[in-house]
Homo-oligomer: A and B are copies of this chain.
Amino acid sequence: MIKLMRYSQLYTKTTKNVPADADSANARYLEQGGFIHREMAGVYSYLPLGLRVLRKIDNIIREEMNAIGGQEILMPALSPKENWMKTGRWDGLDVLFKLPAAGGKEYALGATHEEVVTPLVQDHVFSYKDLPMSVYQIQTKFRNELRAKSGILRGREFGMKDLYSFDKTEEELDEFYEKAKVAYTNVFKRVGFKPEDTYLTFASGGTFSKYSHEYQIAAGVGEDLIYTCDKCVVAVNKEIIEDQDSCPECGNKNLTEKNGIEVGNIFKLKTKYSEPFGFKFTDEDGTTKPVIMGCYGIGNTRLMGSLVEVFHDERGIIWPKNVSPYFVHLIVVKGDENAEKEAEKLYKDLEKEGIEVFFDDRDERPGAKFADADLMGMPLRLVVSKRTLESDSVEWKLRPEAEGENVPLKDVVKKVKALYKED
């Protein structure tokens, strides 16, 4: 990824106008900040700054999926109707887009990929020696939602990381499932959510398992209701609380209702998809057995939206460091030759240290530049002006803070480096 960007070169502009249809903080601030562009309800483009955030999220997810042995692949959006007829989801999945094609054919437009990944893996995996294994992709999904809402939280076209595990036995699946939990916890922590707000939430397991699990971020703005256990940092969702009034982990009946945003889910599919495709393996003793499957989803675009829902104030976004498009938002107050020279020098000095810098070098008044910095939400704002240079310093302000402080010009690069490396 390119480390540097001059605002004068970036084609997008912020706007003070709140989009008329913005029903959520993410729809509002991501559009106003020039991160995304609404094509139609539930369908967005990712503009240069937004795509950077998305790619940073993707890379974190990718590293954690690789760490648990996931092999990255890329499946298509189009798939044959037959596959969906086999599992009953051609008619059973109401959000499935059905696409009429040349030659009188019909394709499904992938809303999820069990119907594609199962026969795909079946073509290479035959024996107990080939198992356990898992594959994942970061790819675009399509859902024919009657009503899309909440910006990039619930769309008709959205990005998703979907991992599928293949095991010999339910015990092996249980083992991988626990590993996936750890990877998921890592992802949510690394993108910036507080571990104490990230709830492993018990949800319905469908026909094959007692429970599946959602990851819910407790946040006032969340659309879901969850019931959290204060003893073991787990929660149950609304569906489960209607059947039982205690924590499934420790039996604690003292549950607290909170708002939550779902950011991921994991599910033991067992033989739900391997059976209809006849996906079996030959075990060590020569017998054939159905492969045991699990699926593990994180919506990368939804995660980006959720971060904005949790991390914003009335002035704009407050990006966590690991997913911010750039680390430093450097502002020069124009009109003073020396300030312009020193700002250019600082920009280059930070570049040498490998710091990602967004440089507002435009001919704009300072107030507009400060408002943009607040709206765009990068972690550290540095201002170089005639006034700061009078005390040989730079104004240093972390995004959530109201007031900046002066830092000596000679120390600023070292101080930025230290903050950049801090956990």
Q: Give the B-binding residues of A (Cβ under 8 A).
A: 2, 9-13, 34, 37, 39-40, 43-48, 51, 54, 66, 69, 71-80, 97-103, 109, 116, 120-121, 123-125, 130, 133, 135, 140, 142, 144-146, 156-157
Q: A74-B51, A76-B44 are in contact. Are A37 and B102 (CB under 8 A)?
A: no
Interchain CB contact (< 8 A) of A78 among B9, B10, B39: B39
Residue of B nearest to A75 (CB): B45
Report how far A75 CA is from B98 CA in the complex, Å.
Answer: 21
**What are 23 A-to-B residue pairs whose CB atoms are below 8 Å?**
A2-B66, A11-B135, A34-B124, A39-B75, A39-B78, A39-B79, A39-B80, A40-B78, A43-B79, A45-B73, A45-B75, A45-B76, A45-B116, A48-B71, A51-B72, A76-B140, A76-B157, A77-B157, A78-B156, A99-B99, A101-B156, A102-B146, A109-B109
CB-CB under 8 A from A142, the residues of chain B are: 77-78
A396 to B21, CA, bound (A): 64
Q: Which residues of B contact A51 (CB under 8 A)?
A: 72-74
Copies of this subunit: 2
The 8 closest A-B pairs by CB, nearest first: A46-B74, A102-B146, A45-B75, A11-B133, A48-B71, A43-B76, A76-B157, A78-B157
When distances are taken between beta carbons in the complex, the residues of chain B under 8 Å from A103 are 146
Considering the complex, give the chain B residue whose CB is closest to the CB of A119.
B39
- Tell me how far the C-beta of A202 lies from the nearest C-beta in chain B, rounded to whole angstroms: 31
Question: In the complex the two chains form, what is the Cα distance from A24 to B268 in whole Å?
Answer: 40
Give the most central of A74, A77, A97, A102: most B CB within 10 Å: A74
A131: nearest chain-B partner, CB-CB: B11
Query: Would you give the shortest CB distance from A107 to chain B, in whole angstroms?
Result: 8
The distance in angstroms between the C-alpha atoms of A149 and B97, with both chains bound, is: 25
Known contacts A45-B116, A101-B97, A144-B102: does B71 contact A10 (CB below 8 Å)? yes
- Distance in angstroms from A120 CB to nearest chain B CB is 6
- Say how far A199's CB is from chain B's closest CB, in angstroms: 31
Other A-B pairs beyond A11-B133, A45-B120, 18, CB < 8 Å: A10-B71, A12-B124, A39-B78, A39-B80, A39-B120, A40-B79, A43-B76, A45-B73, A45-B76, A46-B74, A48-B71, A48-B72, A54-B74, A78-B156, A97-B99, A102-B145, A102-B146, A103-B146
Q: How far does the alpha carbon of A156 sit from the alpha carbon of B106 in the complex, in Å?
A: 13
Q: Is the CB of A48 within 8 A of B77?
A: no
Q: Are B10 and A140 in contact (CB under 8 A)?
A: no
Contacts of A66 in B (CB 8 A): 2
Measured in the bound complex, the distance between the Cα atoms of B103 and A44 in whole Å is 19
Complex CA–CA separation, A13 to B69 (angstroms): 17
